[in-house]
């Protein structure tokens, strides 16, 4: 018996996303690429003139946003084509060309903010009263004023923008190795059957009931990265050095400050999260002990952390998952559910299933002028349903933001994005535990509840264990480079192994190198300067907001929908405070750990309590 993954061409069209709604063909994309290339120099005429008067500034915003709008669609189409099959050389070429033109657009508009700062915010704010079309830019001016000390001259900003494309090279190399070139020795189960390992199915293999299959999947997957550890270490080192360079070029005191301050996130938010995570590690140690007892293992290994706790692993079809998601999100109202259901079932928002060469992980993407797009590898289980709910949260966040907000506030940043995604999971999980529709998929109520809790723990494991640990790792490797110290495959692996050892405690049998190499398995996250900690803050805020709705707090639904519609029109902490959660306080993180501890208690009750 051998299980293989299909080629992209063998995936039925109805299970793929509708990239043709962006451009009908690669040829149409190429025609728009050429047209934009011809039109891009038209922005040159604005240099030195955008602050002549209010009318000139309106003309600049309209012209530059039109160019960015077109570039966004070009970039999205190419990225989706590439992400669906990273071994497709035509798609690789499209993506490379798209990255180049997006960088050229960023360079072409880079003179604007230095000119605005030079003009002075007193004048700019006075123009808001003079010209009605400028009124919507009030918050943009506020944001720019907050960042003004770190915006360099037009010449320097142009160079920094132009560097965006070549600076992505190290991440691009890591990604192409990860998604296209890296090959893994097949896993083997206890019966001797072999299973191909890909980025699309590794999580499914790690949750398989067969312990030998989990073990060989874990080991062979890690060994694939260990074989290229020096190459990947050089890629990540280059990425960290680029972060440090940009931070210094923009006059920030550290890479951490350069990541947080432009996004208006106070540094104490990061440090408070890490401190709270560290203080709650005993809850994780207790969880590993409960799993060990529930599984009746003499020794508990890292590859047992997602071993199923029931003999029957609930299976569900994609449409069933959509129904459950919509039921869980029904408190948000008819519009939310109708749009979400249509997107998942009719409008082909979702690229559903694994194929060879498909980009690892799951994500949601979209730009103004398109509907959202979701990439995932649905494996017909509750974990796949949860992933779909998560990415749908991102997509609906974008849907409502782009429906309400002008182009300038289309973005809202990861700090807010991870709230919407985790919120969906929290809501759906609560509905499943309350209603336990076990009979719909032919399992017992107890088995169903355990499966839902296992999904919850898997989610907390990623966002409240893996990501905070990676955040600590990220801080240390950046600080080492800032101190002039070297990064190597060995010292990064040793560092991360030690951090994970603290999280696993003494009750888990620990494979130093195979756990330590985990840093190499995040080719996107660790190249996005201090990105990962926001998963933990996001899951904290998400549970706080979901609980308000589940408790029927007055106006909680309205406030949450307003949160989704705000986009970047307010500072992120203000957006969350208005929705009902304050992340300047450790309380939301502590509350999320209490929810996590409650799941641990319930799991113990269902699996090992008499």
Other Cβ atoms closer than 10 A to 203: 21
The alpha helices in 40-88, defined as continuous H runs, are 54-84
SS3 at position 307: coil
Distances (CA, A) of 484 to 242, 418, 419, 480: 14, 33, 36, 6
Q: Does 335 qualify as catalytic in the annotation?
A: no
Taking alpha carbons only, the member of 565, 545, 567 closest to residue 556 is 545
Rounded Cα–Cα distance for residues 436 and 350 (Å): 26
Element holding 157 (H helix, E strand): helix 154-162
Tell me which of 391, 418, 455, 482 is the catalytic residue.
391
- Residue 188 has phi, psi (to 5 degrees) of -130, 135
- Residue 208 has phi, psi (to 5 degrees) of -70, 145
Query: What would the two tokens of residue 392 be?
Result: 């749908």
Rounded Cα–Cα distance for residues 75 and 235 (Å): 23
Give the per-residue SS3 of 221-249: HHHHHHCCHHHHHHHHHHHHHHHHHHHHH
Q: Who contacts 116 (Cβ-Cβ below 8 Å, separation ≥6)?
A: 50, 51, 124, 141, 144
- Residue 314 has phi, psi (to 5 degrees) of -55, 130
Long-range contacts of 141-149 (CB under 8 A, 24+ apart): 141/116, 143/264, 143/571, 144/113, 144/116, 144/117, 145/121, 146/264, 147/261, 147/262, 148/117, 148/121, 149/251
Catalytic site positions: 391
């Amino acid at each position: 018996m051998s299980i293989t993954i299909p080629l992209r061409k063998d995936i039925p069209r109805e299970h793929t996303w509708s990239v043709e709604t962006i451009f009908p063909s690669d040829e149409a994309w190429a025609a728009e690429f050429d047209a934009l290339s011809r039109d891009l120099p038209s922005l040159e005429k604005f240099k030195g003139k955008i602050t002549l008067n209010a009318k000139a500034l309106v003309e600049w915003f309209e012209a530059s946003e039109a160019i960015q709008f077109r570039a966004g669609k070009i970039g999205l189409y190419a990225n989706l084509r590439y992400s669906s099959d990273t071994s497709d050389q035509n798609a690789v070429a499209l993506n490379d060309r798209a990255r180049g033109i997006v960088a050229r657009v960023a360079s072409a508009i880079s003179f604007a903010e230095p000119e605005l700062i030079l003009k002075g915010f007193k004048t700019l704010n006075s123009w808001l009263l003079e010209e009605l079309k400028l009124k919507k830019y009030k918050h943009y001016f506020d944001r720019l004023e907050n960042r003004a000390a770190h915006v360099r001259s037009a010449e320097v900003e142009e160079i920094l923008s132009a560097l965006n494309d070549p600076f992505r090279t190290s991440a691009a190399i890591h990604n192409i190795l990860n998604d296209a070139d890296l090959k893994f020795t097949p896993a083997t189960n206890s019966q001797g059957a072999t299973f191909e390992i890909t980025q699309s199915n590794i999580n499914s293999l790690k949750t398989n009931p067969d312990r030998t299959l989990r073990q060989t999947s874990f080991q062979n997957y890690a060994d694939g990265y260990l074989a290229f550890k020096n190459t990947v270490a050089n890629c990540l080192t280059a990425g960290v050095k680029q972060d440090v360079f940009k931070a210094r070029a923009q006059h920030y005191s550290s890479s951490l400050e350069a990541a947080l301050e432009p996004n208006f996130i106070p540094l104490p938010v990061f440090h408070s999260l890490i401190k709270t995570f560290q203080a709650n590690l005993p809850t994780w140690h207790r969880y590993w002990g409960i799993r060990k007892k529930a599984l009746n293992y003499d020794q508990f290994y890292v590859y047992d952390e997602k071993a199923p706790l029931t003999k029957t692993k609930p299976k569900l079809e994609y449409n069933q998952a959509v129904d459950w998601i919509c039921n869980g999100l029904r408190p948000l109202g008819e519009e939310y559910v109708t749009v979400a259901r249509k997107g998942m079932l009719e409008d082909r928002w979702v690229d559903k299933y694994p194929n060879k060469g498909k980009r690892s992980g799951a994500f949601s993407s979209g730009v103004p002028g398109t509907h959202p797009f979701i990439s995932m590898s649905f494996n017909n289980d509750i974990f796949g349903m949860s992933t779909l709910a998560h990415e749908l949260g991102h997509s609906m966040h974008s849907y409502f933001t782009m429906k309400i907000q002008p182009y300038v506030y289309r973005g809202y940043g990861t700090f807010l994005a991870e709230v919407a995604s985790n919120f969906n999971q929290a809501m759906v999980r609560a509905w499943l535990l309350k209603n336990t529709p076990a009979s719909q998929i032919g399992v017992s109520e107890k088995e169903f509840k355990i499966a839902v809790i296992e999904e919850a723990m898997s989610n907390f494991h990623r966002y409240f264990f893996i990501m905070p640990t990676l955040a600590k790792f990220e801080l240390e490797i950046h600080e080492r480079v800032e101190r002039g110290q070297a990064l190597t495959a060995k010292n990064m692996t040793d560092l991360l192994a030690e951090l994970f050892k603290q999280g696993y405690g003494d009750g888990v049998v620990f494979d130093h190198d195979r756990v330590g190499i985990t840093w190499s398995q995040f080719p996107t996250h660790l190249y996005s300067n201090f990105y990962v900690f926001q998963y933990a803050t996001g899951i904290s805020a998400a549970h706080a907001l979901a609980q308000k709705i589940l408790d029927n707090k007055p106006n909680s639904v309205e406030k949450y929908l307003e949160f989704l519609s705000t986009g970047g029109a307010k500072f992120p902490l203000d957006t969350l405070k208005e929705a009902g959660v304050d992340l300047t306080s450790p309380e939301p993180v502590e509350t999320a750990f209490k929810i996590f501890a409650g799941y641990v208690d319930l799991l113990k009750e269902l699996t090992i309590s008499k």
